[in-house]
Amino acid sequence: MYELPENLAALSNEELQALIDQGLDALRALGVTADSDEETVAAGEQIVSALNAVRETVRSKAAEEERRVRAEALIEAQAATPEPDPEPEPEPEPEEPEGAVVPDEVIQPEPVAASGTSPARRAAANAAPPAVPAQRTQVASLVAASDVPGIPTGAPLDGLGAAANALLNRMRGLPTTRIGGPEGVRHRYGAAMIRKQGWRASTTTT
């Protein structure tokens, strides 16, 4: 006959599994069939009811073990959390010793403006402003003559180098012989002009 102990919760998981195996063996030993009598069917039902009780105990113990593991994890997490350091207490202000002399506030004298003006300042105020030299105006300028190759007529020539360049450009375009033979006329052509206010003069090449 398959029987269970009174306190299943006191058994270990191995002992509970052994009871399940014994119950299954007892149920198989009955050899229940569709033609079994009432006594055999009742014995089989009793074994199945006992097996269900054992299996429920196994499930309860597993749930209890899982709860215990979760609780231990929470305890470890709580222990691992560092506690905040306490705030340092403010240091007490030093007390002044009795009988100490506190110096009075030093009063700086304010500067006093002079009532009169010095002779040097009066002389500087009455002095005439310094004369500013007048800017010199350009009296004459060097410009290119008319029909100089490569240089527009009247273009300013900055310095003797630009005048020499205009002279060379003019000489390259001059004829090498006299007009009308050796005794003919030889023309003169200007290369640069000195332009002044009211009149102008030209330098020419031959």
Using CB atoms within 10 Å of the CB of residue 22, give its burial: 0 to 12 exposed, 13 to 18 middle, 19+ buried. Answer: middle
CA 34, CA 28: separation in Å to the nearest integer?
A: 14
Predicted model pTM: 0.37
Mean pLDDT on 130-153 = 69
Q: Read off the pLDDT band of 201 (50, 70, 90).
A: very low
Nearest to 186 by CA among 200, 162, 204, 167: 204
In this predicted structure, what is the pLDDT of residue 145? 75
Helices 13-30 and 38-80: angle between axes, nearest 10 degrees: 160
Q: How confident is the model at residue 49 (pLDDT cuts 50, 70, 90)?
A: very high
9 to 12, 20, 37, 64, 121: CA distances (angstroms): 8, 14, 34, 11, 117
pLDDT tens-digit readout, 100-128: 555 555 566 565 554 455 666 766 666 66
Note the pLDDT tens digit of each residue in 59-70. Answer: 999 999 999 999
Q: Which two tokens stand for residue 36?
A: 């079994």
Buried b / exposed e over 147-176, threshold 16 CB at 10 Å, is ebeebeeeeebeeeebbebbbeebeeeeee
Spatial separation of the C-alpha atoms in residues 96 and 115, rounded to whole Å: 48
pLDDT value, residue 2: 79
> Per-residue pLDDT averaged across 12-22, rounded?
91
116-135 burial, b at 16+ Cβ within 10 Å, e below that, comes to eeeeeeeeeeeeeeeeeeee
What is the spatial distance between Cα 148 and Cα 166, in angstroms, rounded to a whole number? 7
- 110 conformational bin, left if phi > 0, alpha if psi -120 to 50, beta if neither: beta
Is the pLDDT score of 202 beyond 60? Answer: no
What's the pLDDT score for residue 129? Answer: 65
Rounded-to-10 torsion of CA 158, 163, 166, 171: 180
